[in-house]
Structure 1
Amino acid sequence: MNRKQKSLQLTLVSATLLAVLATGCSSNGNSNSSGTATSPAPAGTATGTGTAQASPSAADANYPASMTYWVQMNGNAGAIMKTYNEMAAYQEIEKKTGTKVEFQHPPTGQEKDQFNIMLASGNLPDVVEYNFGSTVGLSASQSPDALIKGKQLLRLNELIDQYAPNLSEVLKEHPEFKKMITTDEGNIYVMPFLLGDELLSVVNGPIFRQDWLDKLNLKVPTTIPEWEAVLTAFRDKDPNGNGKQDEIPFFMNLNSDYDLNHLFVGAWGITTDFYNDNGKVKYGPIQPEYKEFLATLARWYKNGLIDKDYASITDAKLKDNKILNNEVGAYSGFAGSGLGRYLTLQKETNPSFSLVGAPYPKLTEGGANPLGQYTNPFTGYGAAISAHAKNPEQIVKWLDYKYGEEGHMLINFGIEGVSYKMENGYPKYTDEIMNNPDKLPMSQAMAKYFQSGWNGPFVQDKRVIEQYYTIPAQREAQKTWFQADHSKQMPSISLNADESSKTASIMNDVKTYRDEMFNKFVMGAEPIENFDKYVKTLEGMEIEEAIKARQAALDRYLSRK
């Protein structure tokens, strides 16, 4: 995928107002825009990204009178409502379209089981909003193509062409999106959730205690050797000032640091999983560079630069305790939950506590740009339509409303004059969101009015996350992390039934063995000299078959039109 694609410069009336509020972030955010209110351009005005579609009246659009809609209840919404019908945006959409929606929310934690039960029974509601990307390659019978062939879900290509002018405009302006949402067999299976700006795909990275760096007169490290030097200083020079050598220089989180954001391993130009090296699929853990990466971590672990308990810490509260108790010098995390939240929690009790987002480290000064965290603009999430729906044309029209001018503003910002006000052409959240009078956290205040705090069948507006990150350190961290290389990111490929059945058990065994040996190498239980033996074991597990399957899937993806 071309990582140089232009960032979308979107105006209020464009049908392609796109962006994302990072999934998993749980902190506040703000953009310090100011000015006087201006009126939006008239509907149908040409903009830099195309021509916006005027929202038709309910009578003219022939929206459905009613529909059933299955969707997981977001946690922030669930804390303050029983159904999305209570959300202000959906109440207003009902007024605009005349459509009464019966939302069906599965019990929290049972979403996947309920999804499987629905498929097995064949008793599907009109609309199913789900992350279909979580099933692709894992269950051949649940792949979108299989569900369409089995007459459980509808192919949407022709319906979108005829009845979804707003989404059609998005796909016309950005053919890379159409490529992403189309399967290898040429099917579009959902009205998609899309990230419209590359900056919004980057939400996680390395974080340092800025006050510790300042106390020791150190700069934010940018290379692997500089990291080692800074972590050593954290270990030896008592930056927390308690007179004890109890600092944890680096708190390591396996899933986040390596599988998610390629921290450290990306300095060697590889990942801990499959990656795309100029169209060739490679598996990072069998590359020679992976041996050097392991050797570096093993040295750091032996020298006390990494938390000795890292392998046994799975509870997020334990991480919170270590960071908030002034023990941790560096870690990785989200700009929201991993940076903004800690700064907010420490503001009163430890005002000197400060954090800074660090760049992903290069291997050496002047070396190649390291790999970093990146989320593909489309990952399989969206709203599918049941093959048993009686009025799919009308349902597509209703879903398309949220990709247009009115729907976009409602689903991203809520009610003008209540949850946001236009200031100099910018939809700025009011105190109802930023300083909720009922003391609701910002994430819950957002959920009360609109859906853009998580995902759904719409395109998210960049201006949401600009305001969600209230603290300058959050916005600066995101910009810093974005400088990493994202060119080797694997697109959202789809394994066919044969590839899936052949490689599912292979990868289960491979990942189990990879994780087991990672810990052994890092902790010194297995000498790094046995790396070649480890690689041969993975080869014996048929890792090459898994690589071939993903190569075939990548080739198909790259040939999509």
Structure 2
Amino acid sequence: MSSKWSKRLTVSVTGVLLAGSLAACSSGQEASTTGGSGTAQGGASGAPANSQAASGTKISDKERTVRVVFAENPNQPIKNNSIIQQEILKQTNMKLEYEAIPTSNYTDKKKTLIATNNLPDIIQLDKQDLNDFGSTGVFLPLLDYMKKGLMPNFKKFWDANPDMVKMTVDGELYAFPAIARNEAKNGFGPVIRTDLLKKHQLAEPKTFDELLTVLAKLKELYPDSKPWSIRNGTQQLLATSAYMLGSGFNKGNPMYFDKDVEGGKYVFGPASPAFKNVLSYFNKAYKMGVLDTDYATSTQQQWTEKLTSGKSFFFLDNSGFGLNNTRDLRKSQQDATFQVLPIPEYAPGKARANFYATVFTGKTFAISAKAKDPEQLIKLLDWMYSEPASNLMNFGIEGTNYTLDEKGQPKFKEDYVAKFKTSTPTPYYALYSDLGCCQLSFTPYYTNTMTQFQVEKMTGNWDALNDEYWKIVGSDKAYVEPVMDPPLNKQEAARVRELNVTLNTMLDQEYDKFIMGVKKIDEYDAVIKKAREMGATELEKIYNDALARLKK
């Protein structure tokens, strides 16, 4: 992204900032996704002089409790008063009180808190929440605080990453985006029992049609099996697979950016002919007995049990799960191996997939507009984007949990990591839970693969399987970086929210009818027509107009 473009962007979209604040960067997004140091990812090599916590002056003169609500992943239980929380209190006088809500219930709980304007001091949101509710007055607007110089650490990331302006709504920023640190690239991908392919002399599938043929053969060899299992229902199945099958789908807002349509544009997936092919493919898999008949209701726990008990042989989801599944399965089957495949072709010569976002995941942290002394909360969150705070919130206490290597980068202490060598579900999740750290906690500048790799190598869980996995994913040219949605104005955001509620209410009742064969695939044309009449075309126009406006 050019400096010239960045300067125009600052003036047209975020004029409340100092002129030229984005002009300083030229390719910040690209630099920040290379897996380099924290400095490369936004220049936060240390807290500026006016960062109170880093300079020895505490953010609050007296102890203040800060209530934080965020989602709790079952792999990483959250506990209050962790080592990190204790140290944050010591350094800042801000006592973080976590209210972690199970991921399965988080969306409903979050919407209730927003709708009733009964927010905690800080709440975890996603990009859709910002579009839906950013202009309603429930979240604290941030750009004036940045202009006043109260967000120096965060502003370094803002200046270095022009794409961050896409987090704004109607020209305003309502939340701090979570930013990844030194993130390796991976994403949704097809994972299969390669040991069974070798055992039965089955070639690795190069196309999605070949995949069904291979899974059908495994079903024939193992009649009681459910070859392709999924977790968390139909929405997850479509979200993980539709793009690779030539269409696209996102949970909650099925709009997606398709690089292969008219040079790149937004498409409402379920209202496109290509989506009909997706449903047809899953209908075929269902009729063949390849797709788990319980796919619509299968939980993550049930999914894991099927994969690690030898009941299922394939999944298309977060491909990194295959490494953990292999270790669990090898407790009973010594040579069992789940490994990711290169992305199969959905049509001759066409294969595609998205990496997970390696800088901005879509997770954000907003401050309640009703919070007392909001400047303290601003300073607290800004401090968390400094490298010392990031070291603390991802590695714990220096000297106790980690040391700095010759490059000044944190490295866990082996004696600390050794405590989790046999922990479940994985040593790194157990360590994260103990510290209260990293991506799945309240960590605005977080690590994921950076810390995971260290723990796996120190506990002896890194082997040739890991090397092969990261090599396959990293060299697969089918993967591309995801495109962050453009910022919407207040009217657009409100209309998108209204249309999505109407469309999703109708569409969510239709998908399974076609996958399970209750309705014939040709009948989906009527669903497409109905979706268009109900606003799918209007939604596409809103997003594509917003994209064109941003480019100007």
TM over 0.5: yes
Q: Give the superposition deviation at 1:246.
A: 2.5
Residue 452 of structure 1 and its aligned partner are, at CA, apart by 0.9
- Verify: 1:529 aligned to 2:522, yes or no: yes
- Partner residue of 1:71 out of 45, 60, 68: 68
Q: Give the 3-state SS of the residue equivalent to 1:328 in structure 2.
A: coil
State whether structure 2 residue 140 is matched by structure 1 residue 146: no
Matched, 1:250 2:228: yes
* 1:164 aligned onto 2:151: yes
Distance in 1 of aligned mates of 2:532 and 2:433: 48
Distance 1:299 1:108, change over 3 A: closer
**Amino acid aligned to 1:276:** F
The equivalent position to 1:190 in structure 2, one of 175, 186, 191, is 175
1:501-539 C-alpha deviation (Å, 9 max, x unpaired): 545454344334444443333333322333433322323
Determine if contact 2:219/2:225 at 8 Å carries over to the other structure.
Answer: yes
**Structure 2 match to 1:358:** 341
Instruction: Indicate how the Cα distance of structure 1 residues 70 and 493 shifts in structure 2: closer, same or farther if over 3 A, else same.
Output: farther
Using a 3 Å threshold, how does the CA distance of structure 1 residues 90 and 219 change in structure 2: closer, same or farther? same
Q: How well do the aligned residues superpose, as a CA RMSD in angstroms?
A: 3.9
- Which structure would you say has the larger RCO, counting Cα contacts within 8 Å and 6 or more residues apart? 1
Q: Spell out the pairing of 1:210-221 with structure 2 (5 A cutoff).
A: 210-221=194-205
SS in 2 for 1:418: coil
Equivalent of 1:274 in 247, 252, 255: 255
Aligned to 2:24: none
Identity between Structure 1 and Structure 2 (%):
22
How many residues align structurally? 503
Corresponding residue for residue 308 of structure 1: 293
Report if aligned partners of 1:204, 1:481 keep a CA contact under 8 Å in 2: no
Q: CA deviation at 1:551?
A: 3.0
Question: Equivalent of 1:412, from 369, 372, 394?
Answer: 394
**Partner secondary structure for residue 434 of structure 2:** helix
Structure 1 residues 388, 159: CA separation in 2 closer, same or farther (over 3 Å shift)?
A: farther
| Match status 1:5 vs 2:26 | no
Separation of aligned partners in 2, 1:252 and 1:78:
17
SS of corresponding position for 1:101: strand
Aligned position for 2:531: 538
Kindly tell me: are residues 252 and 490 of structure 1, through their superposed partners in 2, closer, same or farther at Cα, counting changes over 3 Å?
same
Q: Is it true that 1:90 corresponds to 2:90 in the alignment?
A: no
- 1:543 to 1:15, Cα distance in 2 relative to 1, 3 A: same
* C-alpha distance 532-106 of structure 1, shift in aligned 2 (>3 A): closer
Are 2:361 and 1:371 equivalent residues in the alignment?
A: no
CA contact (8 A) 1:446 1:453 kept: no
Post-superposition Cα deviations, 1:152-191, rounded to whole Å, max 9, x if no partner, equal 62434433661332222222222223x133x143222233
The amino acid across from 1:261 in the alignment is T
Range with bigger deviation, 187-196 or 49-58: 49-58
Residue ranges of structure 2 left out of the alignment (5+ in a row): 2-26
| Structure 1 contact 276–488 (Cα < 8 Å) conserved | no
Specify the code of the residue in structure 2 equivalent to 1:333: D
Contact 2:403 2:410 in 1 (8 A): yes
How far off is 1:370 after superposition? 1.4
Describe the SS at the equivalent of 1:162: coil
The 5 A counterparts of 1:43-58 are: 49=43, 52-53=46-47, 58=53
Structure 2 CA distance for aligned equivalents of residues 160 and 284 of structure 1: 39
- Alignment-mate amino acid for residue 140 of structure 2: L
Query: Aligned with 2:301: secondary structure?
Result: helix
Report SS of the residue matched to 1:250: coil
Q: Which amino acid aligns with 1:399?
A: L
Distance 1:112 1:475, change over 3 A: same
Secondary structure (helix, strand or coil) at the match of 2:180 reads coil
Which residue of 2 is the match for residue 241 of structure 1?
Answer: none
Tell me the equivalent position of 2:125.
131
**Aligned-partner residue type, residue 5 of structure 1:** E
Tell me if structure 2 keeps the 8 A contact 1:360–1:371.
yes
Gaps of 5+ in 1: 19-48, 239-243
